[in-house]
């Protein structure tokens, strides 16, 4: 898989900002079929950092109602990536 096929987008939330500040962990939305080694390789290649650990979470799609119909959102996958103590991703610094 290509680096930009694996990493979909960064997730910037209150919790992900706290993880960045406290534990040097960054959160990304990734492809549904991406594995931990592929995610690690993609982050290292894209941002030129040393990845120590990758945790992956599959988020199930929510069911929503619109009028009389129910719609199920597509499930997606997110990855929490821990970097070495000296590494930072400057992409998140302006946020």
Q: Could you read off the pLDDT of 4-57 as tens digits, one per residue?
A: 899 999 999 999 999 999 999 999 999 999 999 999 999 999 999 999 999 999
b/e per residue, 19-38, with b = 16+ CB within 10 A?
A: bbeeebbbbbebbeebeeeb
Domains of the chain as residue ranges with CATH: 3-86 (3.30.70.330)
What are the two backbone dihedrals, phi and then psi, of residue 66, each rounded to the nearest 5 degrees? -130, 105
**Lowest-confidence pick of 43-52, 65-74, 83-92:** 83-92
Q: In this structure, what DSSP letter does residue 4 have?
A: H
């Amino acid at each position: 898989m290509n680096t930009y096929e694996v990493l979909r987008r960064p997730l910037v939330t209150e919790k992900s900002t706290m993880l960045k500040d406290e534990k040097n962990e960054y959160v990304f939305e990734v492809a549904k079929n991406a594995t931990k080694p592929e995610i690690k390789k993609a982050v290292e290649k894209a941002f030129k950092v040393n990845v120590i650990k990758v945790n992956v979470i599959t988020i199930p799609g929510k069911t929503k109602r619109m009028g009389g119909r129910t719609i199920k959102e597509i499930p997606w996958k997110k990855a929490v990536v821990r970097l070495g103590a000296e590494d930072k991703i400057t992409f998140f610094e302006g946020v």
